[in-house]
């Protein structure tokens, strides 16, 4: 089945710094989503981005489907950005229509 790898696994930043999180996947995908898991466990939707570039405030994401990777950019990080960021993909062939998650990037933003 399709494999999803996220890097780095852990990231520590000073408040105000910028960061880039990467998601590599092993097969073509029809759906790619980025989530932020809050301290209570809920997955918050950040982007639905099977291809192209999107921006939402200080966050932006780019998926290059032909090269099988996606990047999540966080600019001017804040302590509230701390948490785990997940990339999840879906395709009919490899995942039978369910989301396959990476192991996540744990981000800690220090004041």
Partner 1 sequence: KAGVTQTPRYLIKTRGQQVTLSCSPISGHRSVSWYQQTPGQGLQFLFEYFSETQRNKGNFPGRFSGRQFSNSRSEMNVSTLELGDSALYLCASSSGRGAYNEQFFGPGTRLTVL
* Contacts with partner 1, residue ranges (CB under 8 A): 29-31, 33, 35, 40-43, 45, 48, 50, 86, 88, 90-92, 96-101, 103-104
How buried is residue 2: exposed, middle or buried, by Cβ count under 10 Å (0-12/13-18/19+)? middle
* Three-state DSSP class for residue 15: coil
Nearer to partner 1, 41 or 57 (CB): 41
Residue with tokens 């696994």: 9
CB of 93 to partner 1, least distance (A): 10
Nearer to partner 1, 51 or 76 (CB): 51
CB of 29 to partner 1, least distance (A): 7
């Amino acid at each position: 089945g399709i494999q999803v790898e996220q890097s780095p696994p852990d990231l520590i930043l000073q408040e105000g710094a910028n960061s880039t999180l990467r998601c590599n996947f092993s097969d073509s995908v029809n759906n790619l989503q980025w989530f932020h898991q809050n301290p209570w466990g809920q997955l918050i939707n950040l982007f639905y981005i099977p291809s192209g570039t999107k921006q939402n405030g200080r966050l932006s994401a780019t998926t290059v489907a032909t090269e099988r990777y996606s990047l999540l950019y966080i600019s001017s990080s804040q302590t509230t950005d701390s948490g785990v960021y997940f990339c999840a993909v879906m395709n009919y062939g490899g995942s039978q229509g369910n989301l396959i998650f990476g192991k996540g990037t744990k981000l800690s933003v220090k004041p």
